[in-house]
């Protein structure tokens, strides 16, 4: 079997699923007519996630409905100038880093009462559409939510789409992404969390040529299905200046003329979910599951600590026939909280999925280095005056398949070339302080952003060669051995990182426990496996080599079958939040 690029959950019982604006507008017209039989005035709110093409929505849907008056919500929001003044503290001047926003969508509508009064006094059929539609029409007769995946938003940024309420089509996509990550998506998700439980219809707008409509009740029921069974998020892949060719070959990816350095497979904040309703496939952000069912997925203990945030992420870093990653540091917890408004930081690890004879990882500082000279050389290299002498300051360690390097925040690190890394980390992935990037230019033709000041403020100088070897390299501890499997703890750091990982080498089958936490797993060795319920509560779930999958905390126990025991053991890496 091959890596599944479109993991999809089939839904058996549902009311309907329509595709195409013509069929959708016909159906919605029927619902409006039915409402008019009950009351003289009908209000429809079409709430849009930032990034939805509202011009297309108006032309293809709003204008096709039997409407007496329509309001474009964005017209009543703050002017771009006023909005920018208000959010300057969260967007910042930095190219990639901002401060987590606590704004609500309603904060950007200065005259809500007046517009609401106009809507209430309108006669016949009134449609309010756009981002903030439900702020202005707070009690609509029909509520439609237009959803959009974050990867699609990023692709639209690159293609020239501006941010919400901005005229910045030509701006650096990194700045657009930053504005979305720190500001727009935060306020939109807060509103979405309130709206999904009472949404009448979900409109999937990811494919402009083929929008899709289901009922809000069917969406909630579909999301509920995933709280009781294993599931996968929809992976996406992206090129990088250091990217390699391994994933292209092993995951049957299309030739993009470059490389695939990144694979986001197991990043619920970024990935999507696919649901199949008959012939119609709906795509929704995986965050919708966290916004509606966080406790069921995470478990009581993890939810109490992190709230409605998925705290673990898996992704791939492919440098086969590529180059080194950047030499970097992640912020310490107190730093990321004070400066960026995050409650926890990006502790992580590198699990080596594949390697060549010369594969390597840079990790920790060498013994006896001059700290002042280190800082001086970082600044000189950032200014282009010298090539940073990494061999003088940083440990360069050999890496082989199935090694595991632990990287608590504050540890200088870098993945080497000719290596495939399964990166296991805490969710706040954007907070990377690049200190040296080997003098490269990004794929956009611009120098990649460096954050030497921030890196030096967080660099832990006591993590030197001996400490690294004793604490961060292959910290394997045998846990269980029997006739079916052998289990070993592989990390992460026992006291500095909240994620734990166990590696299961399974001969035929093994029963795993969720450990009171959501589990994220990857088949790191072997062709394929089957995940089964020990209680018969879910259908067998198939996984292929390299696929990341999630098991909700409430499953408690599950069985993993090696489908080809004649070929030897399979390896499954299991991550969870430790007690």
553 and 430 in a common domain: no
Q: What is the pLDDT of residue 120?
A: 80
Estimate the share of the chain in helix, then strand, then coil, as percent rounded to the nearest 5: 30, 30, 40
**Residue for token pair 């030509």:** 170
Q: Residue 122: which pLDDT band, with cuts at 50, 70 and 90?
A: confident
Confidence of residue 495 (pLDDT cuts 50, 70, 90): confident
User: Based on the domain organization, do 254 and 354 belong to the same domain?
Assistant: yes
Distance CA 59, CA 47 (A): 16
Residue 306, pLDDT above cutoff 80: yes
Domain boundary at 430, 449, 471, which? Answer: 471
Asked if 431 and 501 sit in the same domain, the reply is no
Instruction: Assess whether 74 and 149 both reside in one domain.
Output: yes
Q: Are 514 and 400 part of one and the same domain?
A: no
Same structural domain, 435 and 489: no
Tell me the CA distances in angstroms from 579 to 26, 291, 301, 347, one per residue in order.
Answer: 53, 24, 8, 16
My answer on whether 544 and 448 are in the same domain is no
Q: How far apart are the first and last CA of the chain?
A: 36
Residue 122 CB contacts under 8 Å (≥ 6 apart), including other chains = 41, 43, 68, 69
Categorize the per-residue pLDDT at 428 as very low, low, confident or very high, splitting at 50, 70 and 90.
confident
Q: Is the same domain home to 111 and 154?
A: yes
Same-domain check for residues 27 and 79:
yes
Same domain, 502 and 467: no
Specify if 299 maps to a domain. no
Alpha-carbon distance 46 to 57, whole Å?
10
Instruction: Say which CATH number the domain at 119 has.
Output: 3.40.50.300
Domain hosting residue 502, numbered range = 477-577
Displacement of CA 129 from its chain's centroid (Å) = 27
Number of domains in the chain: 3
- Token digits of residue 281: 């496939």
The pLDDT of residue 61: 98
Strands (E), 376-514: 394-398, 404-407, 413-415, 419-426, 433-436, 477-481, 485-491, 499-506, 509-513
CA 46 to CA 208: how far, in whole Å?
Answer: 16
**Exposure b/e, 390-404, CB count within 10 A at least 16 = b:** beebbbebebeebbb
Phi, psi (deg, nearest 5) at residue 539: -70, 155
Inform me whether the pLDDT recorded for 505 exceeds 70.
yes
Q: Check whether residue 205 and residue 143 sit in a common domain.
A: yes
With respect to residue 20, please indicate whether it lies within any of the assigned structural domains.
Answer: yes
Residue 158 resides in a domain: yes
Please calculate the CA angle 127-45-79 and round it to the nearest 5 degrees. 85
460 & 520 share domain: no
Tokens of 404: 């595991």
What percent of the chain clears pLDDT 90, i.e. is strictly above it? 95
Structure confidence at residue 118 (pLDDT): 84
Q: What is the pLDDT of residues 347-398, one digit of tens each?
A: 999 999 999 999 999 999 999 999 999 999 999 999 999 999 999 999 999 9
pLDDT at position 199 is 98
Residue pLDDT, tens place only, 508-553: 999 999 999 999 999 999 999 999 999 999 999 999 999 999 999 9
Q: What is the tens place of the pLDDT at every residue in 253-265?
A: 999 999 999 999 9
Task: Quickly state the pLDDT bin for 429 (edges 50, 70, 90).
Answer: confident
**Mean pLDDT value across residues 446-464:** 96
Residues 180-226: tens digit of each pLDDT: 999 999 999 999 999 999 999 999 999 999 999 999 999 999 999 99
Checking if the pLDDT of 1 tops 70, the result is: no
Average pLDDT over every residue of 440-458: 95
Burial of 1 from C-beta contacts in 10 A (0-12 / 13-18 / 19+): exposed
């Amino acid at each position: 079997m091959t890596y599944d690029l479109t993991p999809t959950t089939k839904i058996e019982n549902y009311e309907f699923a329509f595709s195409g604006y013509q069929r959708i507008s016909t159906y919605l017209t029927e619902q409006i007519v039915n409402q008019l039989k009950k009351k003289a005035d009908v209000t429809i709110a079409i709430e849009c996630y930032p990034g939805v093409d509202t011009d297309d929505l108006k032309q293809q849907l709003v204008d096709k409905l039997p409407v007496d008056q329509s309001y474009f919500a964005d017209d009543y929001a703050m002017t771009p100038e006023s909005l920018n003044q208000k959010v300057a503290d969260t967007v910042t001047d930095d190219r990639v880093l901002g401060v987590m926003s606590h704004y609500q969508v309603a904060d950007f509508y200065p005259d809500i009462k007046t517009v609401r009064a106009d809507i209430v006094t309108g006669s016949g059929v009134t449609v309010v559409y756009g981002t903030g539609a439900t702020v202005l029409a707070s009690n609509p007769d029909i509520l439609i939510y237009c959803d959009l995946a974050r990867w699609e938003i990023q692709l639209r940024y690159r293609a020239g789409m501006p941010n919400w309420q901005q005229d910045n089509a030509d701006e650096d996509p990194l700045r657009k992404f930053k504005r979305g990550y720190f500001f727009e998506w935060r306020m939109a998700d807060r509103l979405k969390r309130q709206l999904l439980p009472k949404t009448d219809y979900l409109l999937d707008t990811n494919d402009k040529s083929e929008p899709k409509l289901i009922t809000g009740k069917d969406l909630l029921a579909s999301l509920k299905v995933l709280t009781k069974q294993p599931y996968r998020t929809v992976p996406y892949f992206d090129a990088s200046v250091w990217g390699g060719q391994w994933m292209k070959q092993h995951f049957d990816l299309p030739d993009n003329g470059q490389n695939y350095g990144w694979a986001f497979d197991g990043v619920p904040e970024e990935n999507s979910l696919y649901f199949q309703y008959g012939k119609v496939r709906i795509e929704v952000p995986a965050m919708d599951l966290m916004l509606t069912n966080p406790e069921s997925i995470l478990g009581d203990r993890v939810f109490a600590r992190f709230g409605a945030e998925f705290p673990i992420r898996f992704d791939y870093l492919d440098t086969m026939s590529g180059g080194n990653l950047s030499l970097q540091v992640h912020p310490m917890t107190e730093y990321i909280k004070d400066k960026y408004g995050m409650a926890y930081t990006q502790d992580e690890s590198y699990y080596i999925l594949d390697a060549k004879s010369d594969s390597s990882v840079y990790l920790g500082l060498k013994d006896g280095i001059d700290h002042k000279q280190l800082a001086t050389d970082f600044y000189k290299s950032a200014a282009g005056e010298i090539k940073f002498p990494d061999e003088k300051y940083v440990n360069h360690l050999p890496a082989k398949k199935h090694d595991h390097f632990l990287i608590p925040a504050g540890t200088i690190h870098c993945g080497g070339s000719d290596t495939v890394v399964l990166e296991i980390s805490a969710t706040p992935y954007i907070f990377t302080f690049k200190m040296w990037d080997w003098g490269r230019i990004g794929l956009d033709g611009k120098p990649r952003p460096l954050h030497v000041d921030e890196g030096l403020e967080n660099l832990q100088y006591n993590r030197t060669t001996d400490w690294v070897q004793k604490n961060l390299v292959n910290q394997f501890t045998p846990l269980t051995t029997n006739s079916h499997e052998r289990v070993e703890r592989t990390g992460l750091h026992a006291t500095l990182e909240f994620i734990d990982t166990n590696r299961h080498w399974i001969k035929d089958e093994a029963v795993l426990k969720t450990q009171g936490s959501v589990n994220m797993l990857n088949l790191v060795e072997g062709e394929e496996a089957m995940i089964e319920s020990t209680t018969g509560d879910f259908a067998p779930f198939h996984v292929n080599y390299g696929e990341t999958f999630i098991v909700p905390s409430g499953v408690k126990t599950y069985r993993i079958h090696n489908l080809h025991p004649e070929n030897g053991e399979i390896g499954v890496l299991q991550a969870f939040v430790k007690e």
